[in-house]
Chain A
Amino acid sequence: MSEAVEPARREATVRVFRGEDRASGGFVDYTVPVDPGMVVLDVMFRVQQMRAPDLAVRWNCKAGKCGSCSAEVNGRPRLMCMTRLSSLPATEPITVAPMATFPLVRDLVTDVSFNYEKARTFPNVKLAPPGPDGKRRMYQEEVDRVQEFHKCIECFLCQNVCHVIRDHEENKAAYSGPRFFVKMAALEMHPLDTHSRVEMLRAKHGLGLCNITKCCTEVCPESIRITDNAIIPLKERVVSEYYDPLAWVKRRIFGEKEPAAPAER
């Protein structure tokens, strides 16, 4: 398989958001020379080197694994280091804006502490007691399901694109967002975890606010199937415990605990 031939692009114009405030800041055009194989982050480096040394850009690994260079390239939430110049139209300026959901620090850098505050509200794994031999065992088929969730690099592009908080600032207190539903799914489906998070998901983390429009899945650079594999299965668990009259009747008749503890699933 050969890669598509890149157009002979010798220079690129980038329209970069500049400013310390969204109201007073604006887009500034920079034209810089470019080389074949460059990504948008490379172009930002060129802008820093040749046009605007004070341009604020957050980056770290430049390999799509640290999740630092999240931005909106031509209006689409993406990692700048994973967006090849050749994948963008050569006939118009490339727009590069900071993530819209988070408060602006400066230029392309946003304050993502919302996510760290949310992360602190989740209980960690609470393991079941060891077996008779003093060991805890997990099996491959159980690990396979949750492995995907551990690929998350915390770039927060899914949080940024989620319209529940992107377009409705008032929901930030009551909604944790896709990144944390992925984390919760990893714990809820953990074969040895005994902590139930279903009530917490419904009442405190706003799982019901998600209307599964799948934008989080679309923007995930790690291709985690956030909606299908994390959010919807969690919604189904909430349905079982709160919206399933048959399950409620069954629990009443057979005197089961309500709701059933995850360890018994």
Chain B
Amino acid sequence: MATTALPAQRRALRRDLWWLEPLLIVVGLGLFVVYAFVTGVQTKGYHYAPYLSPFASPCISANCETFSFGRALLPAWFPPAFFVVWIPVAFRATCYFLRRSYYRAFFWSPPACAVPDARSAYKGETAFPFILQNVHRYAWYLAALLWVVDVYDALLAFRFPAGFGIGLGSVLMTLDVVFLGLYVFSCHSCRYLCGGYLDRFHGRPFPYRVWSTVSRLNTRHGVFFWLSILFVVLTDLYIRLLVSGAITDPRIVFG
């Protein structure tokens, strides 16, 4: 007669560096959250014409240094970033890749494969608050719209007072929207919405082709997550350094 597995046997037998990945996630995400909070509460320093930080885009409140849509749409209740930052926060917080990462690194549920779960009771994503992860699809709709605004900002970053030009800021903003786009459009919900919901692909070449493309991107969703974070931070930091006068923007303007 087989015996039941006992908790005493559940101790981790792994002797490799299983703790390294969660540690790197805690450090990487922790640095990003701190940076995002510090930059998000600033009311100045996010705009250096023609560059606009992705943290403050679209700038729609009355206290903006520049208005993305030509005029203020909301009163100056909070720093400009507060009006839009909830969209990327909602999108990233419910992202399937990030969920894997923070369940491991922050909740230790589990910290690594075959390492015991730190929680004694476990309900997964069946109860509050984690049942709210199911809103990821809606966050994706908004994030995709936000990306369109970011693309518009990146195009404007090539328009200098003397005419068309390319500055280091233009390059950074372009890389930022490229990696943001790869991250947003490699999303698992996007993959489902653009064709994954179908059982029959035959006779539906367009959704099949889009689904196939997104599926290929999806295999690197985690890489795009980290690259998009890196370039959002680099772009914002670069603009803030320009505003502070610490550096100057190397640029070629064609006139």
**Chain A residues with a Cβ under 8 A of chain B:** 20-23, 72, 74-77, 92, 95, 97, 100-105, 110-111, 139, 141-142, 145, 161, 163-164, 166-169, 171, 188-191, 193, 206, 208-215, 218-219, 225, 227-228, 232-233, 236-240, 243-244, 262-263, 265
Please list the residues of chain B having a beta carbon within 8 angstroms of any beta carbon in chain A.
2-6, 8-10, 12-16, 96, 99-100, 103-104, 109-110, 113-114, 116-117, 121-126, 130-131, 134-137, 188-189, 191-192, 196-202, 208, 218-219
B125 interface neighbour in A74, A95, A111, A209, Cβ under 8 Å: A209
Are B188 and A236 in contact, with the CB atoms below 8 A?
A: yes
Q: A75-B15, A104-B3 are in contact. Are A211 and B125 (CB under 8 A)?
A: yes
- Min CB gap B99→A, angstroms: 6
Q: Which of B15, B116, B124, B135 makes the CB contact (< 8 A) with A209?
A: B124
From A109, which residue of chain B is reached at the shortest CB distance? B2
Q: Are A141 and B197 in contact (CB under 8 A)?
A: no
Residue of B nearest to A246 (CB): B138
B2: contacting residue among A75, A76, A111, A233, CB under 8 A: A111
Q: What are the residues of chain B within 8 A of A238 when measuring CB–CB?
A: 134
Q: With A104-B2, A208-B124 as given contacts, are A142 and B100 in contact (CB-CB < 8 Å)?
A: no
Question: Nearest chain A CB to B13's CB is how many angstroms away?
Answer: 3
Q: Is the CB of B124 within 8 A of A164?
A: yes
Partner of B188, one of A92, A191, A210, A232: A232
Chain B residues near A105 (CB-CB < 8 A): 2
Closest partner residue, chain B, to A110 (CB atom) = B2
| Bound CA span A240–B198, Å | 12
A214 to B100, CA, bound (A): 7
Q: Which residue of A is nearest B14, CB measured?
A: A75
Contacts of A193 in B (CB 8 A): 199
B221 CB, min distance to chain A CBs, angstroms: 8
Known: A101-B5, A219-B113, A233-B196. 4 other contacts (CB 8 A): A142-B200, A191-B202, A215-B114, A236-B196
- From known contacts A104-B3, A208-B125, A211-B130, infer whether A191 and B114 are also in contact, taking CB-CB under 8 Å: no
Q: Are B137 and A103 in contact (CB under 8 A)?
A: no
**Which 6 A-B residue pairings sit nearest by Cβ, starting from the closest?**
A75-B13, A75-B14, A215-B113, A209-B124, A103-B2, A236-B192
For the complex, what is the distance from the CA of A134 to the CA of B103, rounded to whole Å?
Answer: 51
Main DSSP-derived SS at the B contact region:
loop
Q: Give the distance in Å from the alpha carbon of A110 to the alpha carbon of B110 in the complex.
A: 23
Cα–Cα, bound, A191→B201 (Å): 8
Given the known A-B contacts A211-B109, A213-B100, are A104 and B5 also in contact in the complex, defined by CB atoms under 8 Å?
A: yes
Q: Select A20's contact among B3, B104, B134, beta carbons within 8 Å.
A: B3
In the complex, chain A residues whose CB is within 8 Å of the CB of B196:
233, 236
> Within 8 Å CB of A225, what residues of B?
219
Q: How far is the CA of A111 from the CA of B4 in the complex (A)?
A: 9
Report A-chain residues with C-beta under 8 Å of the C-beta of B197.
236-237, 240, 265
Complex alpha-carbon distance, A219 and B122, angstroms: 22
The docked-state distance in angstroms from the alpha carbon of A72 to that of B116 is 14
Partner pick for B114 among A75, A227, A243, CB 8 A cutoff: A75
A95 and B125 CA atoms in complex are apart in Å by: 34
Given contacts A75-B114, A209-B126, A211-B130, contact A22 B9 (CB under 8 A): yes
Q: Which residue of A lies closest to B201 (CB)?
A: A141
With A167-B122, A169-B5, A233-B196 in contact, is A211–B103 under 8 Å at CB? yes
Q: Given known contacts A22-B3, A139-B201, is B123 in contact with A76 (CB within 8 Å)? A: no
Residue of chain B at shortest CB distance from A175: B124
A85 to B99: give the CA distance in the assembly, Å.
34
Contacts of B16 in A (CB 8 A): 74-76
Nearest A-chain residue to B218, judged by Cβ:
A228
Expressed in whole angstroms, the Cα–Cα distance for A18 and B99 within the complex equals: 38
- Docked complex Cα distance between A232 and B221 (Å): 13
Give Cα A188–Cα B191 distance, bound, in whole angstroms: 16
Contact of A103 with B199 at beta-carbon distance under 8 Å, contacts A163-B117, A167-B10 already known: no
B13 CB contacts on chain A under 8 angstroms: 72, 74-75, 95, 97
Of A103, A191, A208, the residue contacting B4 (CB under 8 A) is A103
**A contact residues around B2 at 8 Å (CB):** 103-105, 110-111
16 A/B residue pairs, CB under 8 Å, sorted by A: A23-B3, A72-B114, A75-B12, A92-B15, A100-B9, A161-B113, A163-B109, A164-B122, A166-B117, A167-B10, A168-B117, A191-B199, A208-B125, A211-B124, A225-B219, A265-B197
